[in-house]
Amino acid sequence: MSTLREEPGALATPPPEAASVTRQNALARLKQAADLPLVVVTGPAGYGKTTLLRQYADFRRAAGSALAWVRMESRFTHPGRLLSLLNQAVAELLDGSPAAPEVADRQSVHVLGERLRQAGIDGVIVLDNYDQTRDPGLETLLTQLIRALPEGVQLCMGARSLSASRLAALKLDSRALVLDEEDLRFEPAETRAFFSEFPELSPAEIDEIHQGSDGWPAALQCFRLCLRRGRKHRSAAYAGRGVTPELLDFLAAEVFENLDADTRSRLLDLAVPESLDAELTQHLLGIRDGQAYLRELEQSGLFLAAIDLQGRWFRFHNLFRQFLLDRLTVTLPADELRQRQRRIAEWHAGKGQTEQAIQHFLDAGDANPAAALLNKLVGQMLATERLELIEHYADRLPRDVLLQHDDLTCAAIIAFSFRRAFDKARGLLDDARARYPDSSGPDFAELFLLAAEDRVQALGELAERLLDRFEGDNFRQAICMNARSLWLYACSDFETARDLLVRARSLHDQAGNLFGQAYQEAVHALVLSGQGRIDDALAGLTSALRRTERDTAGNASAGSVLAAYLADGLYEQNRLEAAERLIADYGQFAEQQTIADALAVMLLTQARIARLRGNMRLAEDSIERLVYFGHRHKLGRLVAYGNAELLRYATLDEDLQRAGRRMEMLEDGRSLQPDGSLLFHAGETECVTITRCRWLMASGQYAEARGVLQREIRQAQAQRRHRRALKLLTLLALGQFAQGNQSMAFRTMLRALEIAAPQGLVRSLLDEGPQLTRLLRALREAQPALPAGVQPDPVQQHLDHLLALSGDGPADAASPKPEQTTQAAPLVEQLTRRELDILRQVSRGLSNREMADRLCVSTNTVKWHMRNIFEKLQTRNRVQAIAAARNLGLID
């Protein structure tokens, strides 16, 4: 297809393979699954996955279904590239011709799904040669694609390998059919049909071949080719030892060596490129009719098959091509092999197939033309987050060649940084500064390195210096604002951070950079969350993630940072299933390339959900991965967070011996600033002060814990870090309750509930376990019945909600109750201005002494005003007074 600059031969259904056997049983299972949204055919090379999918596609097409076929090339397995191919295939299915690559590259999964939904077709999309091992973003894209496809459109995948977790999940999913290696083996009847051209073979001999090959289709094809040369070759081909890779090499050699010399030479020439068309074949072989020659090879059964609808593009089977390449390496001098790679690279470059040209130039050892082409393409690769491929190319280029291109060098530094290859990034950065002393490119690239290294202070300082230098460059200036805002957030300067982020948002919009915009939205959500505004943070994250999934073409990194913080917020509100879906969709990619804080948040949230579900194996595995990443990449915060979480488990489990060991590990290995000085979302409500205070109280050291908690509460309130204050107040209340100071514990707990109730915060409280439940129950029992006409206060509603979730309250309180419409009793007498002031102070949880100090009056005066307030509102305590006042609109 001439429009496919990047992936020749990637689209549309291959024609039927010559002399293939209809796979009756496997095909019958596929036909029965025609109404399922997903079919997966998985098995090693040589098991006939493509043949079976082609037979199923023919069946569906004959039944009137529309058909799109995409074959992935092994070198180009980035999700953005795959999505572009899918968009081209769907465009051809709906419009009769594929979309231009520059259009398809910009279309998201959402756009693809909408186009299919609007068309209202019954269709099949076949994704052949899928292999997710090179890029974890493919699994995220696959999940999004399955969800986006409308009813009536089925996705069929042929894959050599899937992750064990993905495969297990698919086998348990009633909406998917999975056929594996065992399903793909030839059955005896199929083997007999396969060898029907040899009437001289007895059924017993065919059964012997079947048993020896274990039904492996590739091996059977090699046997058949050998047998076509005469019966005497059967004994040479099979010695009764079963099929091994060595035997298959021998069989391929048997086929190859008995071809005429001209055919052998041509096969070796054609094995170098992954895909072939008539023009490339003519270029390589110097013949006039490349199309006819490819058809001739296909009909001869030499493991060549067409891979597009028109039969224009062909490729050798993976096993046979690898045999040919191995033979080519042995028989040709290195210089001659490089010359062949160079000829292919020049042909691809002339056709505008840049990525293929780059790869073949590199294989030829021609670094300079490869780097020149890559420099033109690298901006688009960064925009689509093809960081792994950039890293791959940068590793293959000599350093002096790489440094000749400023943009390519900066892109390589960014890719190394986010792929956490910090030493390579730092070394290249130093070389770039030496080569380009006046360029701002290396400084800009260092922003990404500092962010990935978790050096937030240095990041903020560099961003401040660069802001003015990038005036007029929307993209770079917006990235600087992101970086500076992250530092301001860490310093709890929320207002300045928000102002800067609002400016950054407009610049990202103008630059059209969704990756930078996603991080801007993530930092903005952190600012809101730090202030306890979880609902607002979740609304922003949900909108940003929806926009990212809708507008980006396969980019998963930007989505993963949003998903990490969104999952954490959902977990906080006890929306566990929604959080689990996000982790399943984005967790693997977050582990590959996202900032340290988001990675920690994702793994900690996964561990906490697993612990709630009783899956301690998954919980511990998640924490172990967190600690592993910390050690591997020298990210001390990750190690500390992992140790703190394990200490939390031991403390809550009342295993003080294990908790003590964990406390020593945490203190010995900690290289963090006190968590009260800088704000990091992943550790704000746990590591390390809160973790230590919980352990101190479990060890009976209440006085020390109380002093630390009270100091930290004052600091958190001064900085308006309400999310942190909630956790600190909860622990302080637990300590007071454990020491028998019930009235003080109730007051402190009410202050915590005042923060939690408006935002529906749950897990910060209930994760403290049975002790917290006992405190909440005692607090609830101490509350007298409300007078007639007064609706429950939001704090009391949330208290009931928490008790219900913990299994210690009425079931109907497990979900927030709708607002009641009962009117409160009218005031007996209007409150004075001073009484209203005191009532507002009461609603904020202040004690009589604190109110007296603020109002410059005695505590007796405050008590006198309180008695008047109770009388006028017809209430008997503070909780009832606050509820009545809010119901009457006297306070917010």
On whether residue 195 sits in a domain, the answer given is yes
> What is the per-residue pLDDT for 11?
43
pLDDT at res. 430: 97
Task: Please write the tens of the pLDDT for every residue from 154-203.
Answer: 999 888 766 655 666 665 566 888 888 788 888 888 888 888 888 888 88
Residue 746 has pLDDT above 80, yes or no: yes
Same domain? For 46 and 170 the reply is yes
Gyration radius (Cα) of the chain, Å: 33
Residue 278 lies in a domain: no
pLDDT at 171: 58
Query: What is the rounded CA–CA span in Å between residue 565 and residue 489?
Result: 15
* 748 and 769 within one domain: yes
Structure tokens at 243: 């099929």
Share of the chain above pLDDT 70, in %: 84
User: What are the CA-CA distances from residue 425 to residues 170, 337, 759 (Å)?
Assistant: 38, 33, 42
Comparing CA positions, the residue from 696, 654, 680 lying closest to residue 598 is 680
Task: Determine the pLDDT at residue 885.
Answer: 81
33 lies in the same domain as 178:
yes
Q: Which of the two residues, 848 and 563, has the higher pLDDT score? A: 563
Counting Cα atoms < 13 Å in the Cβ hemisphere of 695 gives 26
Is residue 179 included in any domain, yes or no? Answer: yes
- Residue 63, burial from CB neighbour count under 10 angstroms (0-12, 13-18, 19+): exposed
What is the pLDDT, as a whole number, of residue 466?
94
Nearest to 413 by CA among 396, 430, 397: 430
Rounded CA separation 465/484 (Å): 10
583: pLDDT confidence band, cut at 50, 70 and 90? very high
For residues 470 and 466, what is the distance between their CA atoms, to the nearest angstrom?
6
Q: Is the dihedral of CA 170, 173, 174, 175 positive or negative?
A: negative
Provide mean pLDDT across the span 709-734: 95
Domain count, the chain: 5
Please say if the pLDDT value at position 150 is more than 50: yes
858: number of Cβ within 10 Å: 11
pLDDT given at position 202: 83
Q: How far apart are CA 750 and CA 364, in angstroms?
A: 72
pLDDT over 90 at 487, yes or no: yes
Amino acid at 152: G
The answer on 194 and 180 residing in a single domain is no
What's the CA gap between 18 and 83, in Å, rounded? 31
**Is the pLDDT score of 702 beyond 90?**
yes
CA 706/CA 727 separation, integer angstroms? 13
Note the pLDDT of residue 237: 46
Q: Model's pTM, two decimal places?
A: 0.76
User: Which pLDDT does position 9 carry in this prediction?
Assistant: 44
pLDDT band (50, 70, 90) for residue 818: very low
Q: For position 412, what pLDDT does the model report?
A: 97
pLDDT at 809: 58
Question: Is residue 712 a part of any domain in this protein?
Answer: no
Instruction: Report which of 310, 358, 298 is spatially closest to residue 9, judged by C-alpha positions.
Output: 310
Of 213, 234, 257, the residue that ends a domain is: 257
d(CA 335, CA 235): 39
pLDDT of residue 141 exceeding 50, the answer is yes
> Are 806 and 854 found together in one domain?
no
Q: In the chain, pLDDT over 90 holds for what percent of residues?
A: 43
Q: At residue 635, does pLDDT exceed 90?
A: yes
Would you give the distance in Å from CA 811 to the centre of its chain? 36
**Backbone φ, ψ for residue 37 (5° rounding):** -75, -20
Q: What is the CATH number of the domain that holds 137?
A: 3.40.50.300
> Which pair of structure tokens corresponds to residue 267?
């096969």
Do residues 35 and 178 share a domain?
A: yes
CA distance 319 to 248: 9
Residue 443 has pLDDT above 90, yes or no: yes
When comparing pLDDT for 703 and 839, which is higher?
703
Same-domain status, 138 and 33: yes
Structure tokens at 764: 């910060």
CB-based contacts of 367-375 (< 8 A; 24+ apart in sequence) = 367/396, 367/397, 367/398, 367/401, 368/401, 369/345, 370/345, 370/396, 370/397, 371/397, 371/401, 371/402, 371/404, 371/405, 371/408, 372/405, 373/349, 374/405, 374/408, 375/405, 375/407, 375/408
pLDDT confidence of residue 673: 46
Give mean pLDDT, residues 509-538.
90
pLDDT of 561 above 60: yes
Residues 179 and 193 placed together within one structural domain of the fold? no
Task: Answer yes or no: is pLDDT of 821 > 50.
Answer: no
pLDDT confidence tier of residue 719, bands split at 50, 70 and 90: very high
Q: Are strands 304-306 and 314-316 parallel, antiparallel or unpaired?
A: antiparallel
Instruction: Please state the rounded mean pLDDT for residues 733-747.
Output: 95
Q: What is the pLDDT of residue 692?
A: 93
Cα gap 709→704, rounded to integer Å: 9
CA dist 828 and 631 (Å) reads 67
Tell me the pLDDT band of 3, cut-offs 50, 70 and 90.
very low
71 forms bridges with which residues in the sheet?
Answer: 128
- Is residue 587 located within the same domain as residue 533? yes
**285 to each of 265, 271, 288, 335, how far by Cα in Å?**
9, 12, 9, 18
Question: Are residues 841 and 782 both part of a single domain?
Answer: no
Asked, for residue 412, whether it belongs to a domain, the answer is no
Half-sphere exposure of 276 (CA within 13 A, CB side): 30
Which of 570, 592, 614 corresponds to the end of one domain?
592
Mean local confidence (pLDDT), 201-211: 81
Domain boundary among 592, 627, 644: 592
Confidence class of residue 135 from pLDDT cuts 50, 70 and 90?
A: low
User: Which residue(s) pair with 153 in the sheet?
Assistant: 123
Q: Is residue 116 located within the same domain as residue 205?
A: no
Range in 397-411, 667-681, 859-873 with the lowest mean pLDDT: 667-681
pLDDT, tens digit (0-9, with 9 covering 90-100), for 233-281: 454 444 444 445 555 566 566 667 778 888 888 999 999 998 899 999 9
Residue-level pLDDT at 235: 45
Does residue 211 surpass a pLDDT of 60?
A: yes
pLDDT at 576 over 90: yes
CB atoms within 10 A of CB 390: 24
- Answer yes or no: do 91 and 130 share one domain: yes
Mean of pLDDT values over 208-232: 71
> Higher model confidence: residue 10 or residue 443?
443
Asked, for residue 317, whether it belongs to a domain, the answer is no
Q: How confident is the model at residue 617 (pLDDT cuts 50, 70, 90)?
A: very high
In a domain, 448, yes or no: no
- Given phi > 0 = left and psi -120 to 50 = alpha, else beta, which region is 149? beta
Q: Does 434 reside within a domain?
A: no
* Cα–Cα distance, 865 to 883 (Å, whole number): 18
Residue 533 pLDDT > 70: yes
DSSP string, 778-842: HHHHTSPPPPTT-PPPHHHHHHHHHHHHTTSS-GGGSSPPPPP-PPPPPPSSPPPHHHHHHHHHH
Show Cβ contacts of residue 82 under 8 Å, excluding neighbours closer than 6 positions.
70, 72, 127, 138, 141, 554
How high is the pLDDT of residue 408? Answer: 95
Q: Which residues contact 391 (CB under 8 A, 6 or more apart)?
A: 412, 415, 416, 419, 421
User: How many Å apart are CA 840 and CA 854, to the nearest integer?
Assistant: 12
Domain that holds residue 250: 189-257
Contact 7, 73 (CB under 8 A): yes
Instruction: Share the mean pLDDT of the chain.
Output: 83
Select from 599, 536, 450, 680 the least CA-distant residue to 521.
536
